[in-house]
Amino acid sequence: MMKWGLLKYLVPSTALVCPIGSIAQEIGASTSIVIDPRLDRTDVAGARSESEYRPVPLVVGPFLAQPQLSIVSGYEGNVFNQADAKAAQVVTAMPSLVASARLSQHELNLAASGTVRRFSWYRTENSEEFAVAADGRLNLTQQHALLGTFSYASLIEPRSSAASNRNAAE
């Protein structure tokens, strides 16, 4: 009798935790999803990771490389950000690579990231974005150094932006 008594409480609570209707998560109108999976941030207590859970960088020649991949899927409730909403499933893949040279006196850091979106319908909305960056320091003497930074990005302005052409007339 005790087993059935617990079961009547378990079934309704499971329905609250795992409702049948929640199959996918809606993703905002043409948003760029920025996920910063770096666990070495020290600005917030919850963002600090324990040392045994930190990813181990790959050694590639003189570089320490840290590749990452995030994949998010869901549905877009208003693909074109218009009053007559059109919905579609979307998958977003975000690869990135950060590499630092192991040099005794100099410094070189490289970074590359991208975002690839694929819609089930309305394939005209599929998109690719990327960014690359490099910075370094070349020590000439103990008191003199050359510093350099380079970055380039090819990004897409979302339809939800106030400056987008479709919203300019409103």
Tens-digit pLDDT profile for residues 22-78:
344 555 544 454 545 555 555 556 556 677 777 888 999 999 999 999 999 998 888
Q: How high is the pLDDT of residue 104?
A: 86
DSSP 113: E
Q: Which residues does 25 contact at the CB level (< 8 Å), separation at least 6? A: 74, 75
Of the candidates 26, 33, 17, 18, the one whose C-alpha atom is nearest the C-alpha of residue 70 is: 33
How far, in Å, CA of 155 to CA of 161, rounded? Answer: 13
Q: Which residues does 113 contact at the CB level (< 8 Å), separation at least 6? A: 94, 95, 96, 97, 130, 131
Asked whether the predicted pLDDT for residue 126 surpasses 50, the reply is yes
Residue 145 vs residue 166, higher pLDDT: 145
Give yes or no for a contact between 114 and 95, defined as CB atoms under 8 angstroms apart: yes
- For residues 148-160, average pLDDT: 88
Tens of pLDDT, residue by residue over 64-123, are 999 999 999 998 888 887 888 888 999 999 999 999 998 888 999 999 999 999 999 888
Q: How high is the pLDDT of residue 47?
A: 59
